[in-house]
Amino acid sequence: MSTEPGRVPNVLSVAGSDPSGGAGIQADLKTFGALGAHGCAVLTALTAQSTQGVTGVHAVPPRFIREQVETLVADVTLAAVKVGMLGSADVVRAVHELAQEGLLPNLVLDPVMVSTAGSRLLDEDAVEELRALASHADLITPNLPEAAVLLGRDPQDMAEGPAQMMDEARALLDLGCPRVLLKGGHASGEHVLDLLVDTLGAHELGGPRVATPHTHGTGCSLSSAITALRPRRDSWLEAVTDARSWLVGALEHGHELSVGQGPGPVHHFWQLWER
């Protein structure tokens, strides 16, 4: 699914806003731009948020989320779509309907449930709706706690080790999603292992853990990087591999920024800004 050479792909983020600029729509748009895609955005929620946590959420009505998407796709041809924070069951249901109607091509679903600082970003009664939406995604990108919740367990009951991660990834395929990127960053140890699994097989993607406190928006940025790169890569594996490499650099250079008193953001423009 490579975009015509020389053409900049249009990609969309359907997600919530983060005023600190490190996560959510803001992180997605930065990532899209840093990786050579034109970013479009449909807001699902406004948050009162900083690097230290979320103090409030103002949801966008589902009917207006639909209006945003329908107005956009009537004019702009999208190459890929990332879906992040949805918040409520009604919003998840609305996005699911849009996916069923074919309005969200090459859909990357980041099942956002809890922020890096520990704030809940998805209502408990929305999990079942999120499982249904996963069946219409092309790729889901849960971390270990999110995978546990999607599989009906407590988020503290995370997989431990490659064998358990493989079992969980294959169980997630049973939700109907054709492929899963199970992210192992929440596991302990100096090495991070992610698994990209589909019905044809599995790929282990690993590397040394980047020792940094600047991890705000890591999940948002990885899923949006995959979205930005997929139209110009020949496979999901290639897009995921290149997105992970870019994120490692963004983590390694996060210390160059000075944003807030909590976990700072990754440096989305680490390849572009002069030092």
Q: Which residues are catalytic?
A: 183, 215, 217-220
Contacts (Cβ under 8 Å, ≥6 apart) of 75: none
User: Contact 112/85 with Cβ under 8 angstroms?
Assistant: yes
Alpha-carbon gap, residue 16 to 18, rounded angstroms:
7
- Spatial CB neighbours of 154, under 8 Å, sequence gap ≥ 6: 148
| Cβ neighbours around 73 below 10 Å, total | 21
Beta strands in 105-190 (DSSP E): 107-109, 139-140, 179-182
